[in-house]
Amino acid sequence: MVEPPLAGIKVLDLTHYIAGPYCTKLLADYGAEVMKIERPGTGDGARQMGPFFGNSPHPEKSGLFLYLNTNKLGITLNLKSEAGAKVFKELVKDSDILVENFSPRVMRSLGLSYENLERRNPHLIMTSISNFGQSGAYRDYKATEIVADAMGGWMAIIGDPEREPLKPGGYQAQFVAGLFGSLGTMTAFYGQEMTGIGQHVDISIMEAVLYIQMNITSMYSYNQQIRKRAGNRVWPPPGAILPCKDGHIGAIAVTTQQWKTLCHWMGMPELIENPRFLTAVDRAEHVDELEAILLSWLVEHEQEELVHEAQKRRLPFAVPASTKMLLESEHLRQRGYFVEVDHPATGKLRYPGAQFKMGGLPFELKRAPLLGEHNEEVYCHRLGYSKSDLVRFKEQGII
């Protein structure tokens, strides 16, 4: 049987909530052995975040936690205790990678800085994901998703130009930082494989947000232009999310040929030579008039008709998909996007599957661990502690 691409790589996962767990999930899902270390008693804070299976709040039923921690082993350990820190250093000695997403001061305050851990394992790759990075004026600032979106420049370009900036939906900043974290981790790991030198990888969530829409900085650097909010419009017009007969449609025809094709489809070929719409600049200057014409045509047609007819003409129209539409998508079914995962607290549920496909290499999604599920396997079978040691550790709040 062919092994997954990251098989044999050992990862210690000291992460919680979203950005860090997504980083380590990517490693685990592609074959790395990821050992998630949680706080005794309460575990990862994501266990308290919904949605919860059956709308019943429970640390083993959080959809967010269950998704972000697939394919991982799970143990508990109190790093604030002297014995817990000692056990952790034993785990570090036999690991390839450590990922953490505490505030920058935390690991050092626990005596677990990269410099200290490197002495125990010179080949260690340690990835730290934090709000603003391990250095800089904002290093110790508190932040949430909305703070990262705001300070990374994302919110400034989202929304109606006449209204307040808007926050992107969901936890995109966290997921993007997690993605960069996994990329940086594996880049450092394979560098270590070649050079024998470990690395401390520093990931800033704010910088991850800035990076994915870096054109706002390039526009200013090149032309001293500040990008403004454009609402639902796409440059160059016509491109917008507009009403149609049974909902909304993303109507895009931004190239010269697409514009001509759209005019013929609407039965208005005379618009092609109309001086108000002749070039992209002309169409931008008269965008309100242009959208009014487009809207008068769209409201006579339904979403499904518009999408299929547009694709026949090589025009990129799209329906803003609801969750129900995605779950019932025939395209995603054929791609095997969703997979079923069985969990003792929820039964079988559908999860997003492989984030990317690698030819015929195997992909398997195993459920997230119960809190402390693998304590005995790790502490007794790997580190050599006895079951009575585990009982004592439990009584002392170490695990």
**Average pLDDT for residues 12-33, to the nearest whole number?**
98
CA atoms within 13 A on the CB side of 240: 22
> Does position 2 have pLDDT exceeding 70, yes or no?
yes
**Amino acid present at 98:** L
178 with 46, same domain? Answer: yes
Percent of the chain surpassing pLDDT 90: 85
Closest to 298 (Cα-Cα) out of 256, 251, 342: 251
Per the model's pLDDT, the better-predicted residue between 116 and 229 turns out to be: 116
**Average pLDDT for residues 160-176, to the nearest whole number?**
92
User: Can you give the residue range of the structural domain that contains 351?
Assistant: 10-213+335-395
Residue 270 inside a domain? The answer is: yes
**Average pLDDT for residues 206-228, to the nearest whole number?**
78
42 with 89, same domain? Answer: yes
Residue 384 inside a domain? The answer is: yes
**Amino acid present at 231:** G
- Into how many domains does the chain fold? 2
User: Per-residue pLDDT tens for 310-329?
Assistant: 999 999 999 999 999 999 99
- The domain that contains 311 carries what CATH number? 3.30.1540.10
* Phi, psi of 203, deg, nearest 5: -115, 125
Q: How far is CA 32 from the centre of its chain?
A: 19
Residue 5 inside a domain? The answer is: no
Q: Would you state the pLDDT for residue 43?
A: 97
Per the model's pLDDT, the better-predicted residue between 255 and 132 turns out to be: 132
Q: Could you tell me which residues are beta bridge partners of residue 247?
A: 244
48 with 184, same domain? Answer: yes
Average pLDDT, the chain: 94
Q: Would you state the pLDDT for residue 234?
A: 81
> Does position 217 have pLDDT exceeding 70, yes or no?
no
**Amino acid present at 8:** G
For residues 35 and 82, what is the distance between their CA atoms, to the nearest angstrom? 20
> Does position 16 have pLDDT exceeding 80, yes or no?
yes
For residues 211 and 292, what is the distance between their CA atoms, to the nearest angstrom? 35
Q: Would you state the pLDDT for residue 219?
A: 67
48 with 163, same domain? Answer: yes
For residues 324 and 38, what is the distance between their CA atoms, to the nearest angstrom? 34
Q: Sorting pLDDT into bands at 50, 70 and 90, what band is 393?
A: very high
**Average pLDDT for residues 139-165, to the nearest whole number?**
92
> Does position 60 have pLDDT exceeding 70, yes or no?
yes
175 with 295, same domain? Answer: no
User: Per-residue pLDDT tens for 273-323?
Assistant: 999 999 999 999 999 999 999 999 999 999 999 999 999 999 999 999 999
**Rounded to 5 degrees, what angle do the CA atoms 83, 85, 89 make?**
115
For residues 182 and 320, what is the distance between their CA atoms, to the nearest angstrom? 30
245 with 100, same domain? Answer: no
3-state class of 97 per DSSP? strand
- Which of 321, 355, 381 corresponds to the end of one domain? 321
169 with 273, same domain? Answer: no
Q: Would you state the pLDDT for residue 222?
A: 67
Please name the residues in contact with 172: beta carbons below 8 A apart, sequence gap of 6 or more: 145, 149
- Which of 321, 349, 371 corresponds to the end of one domain? 321
Instruction: Name the pairing type of β-strands 125-130 and 199-204.
Output: parallel
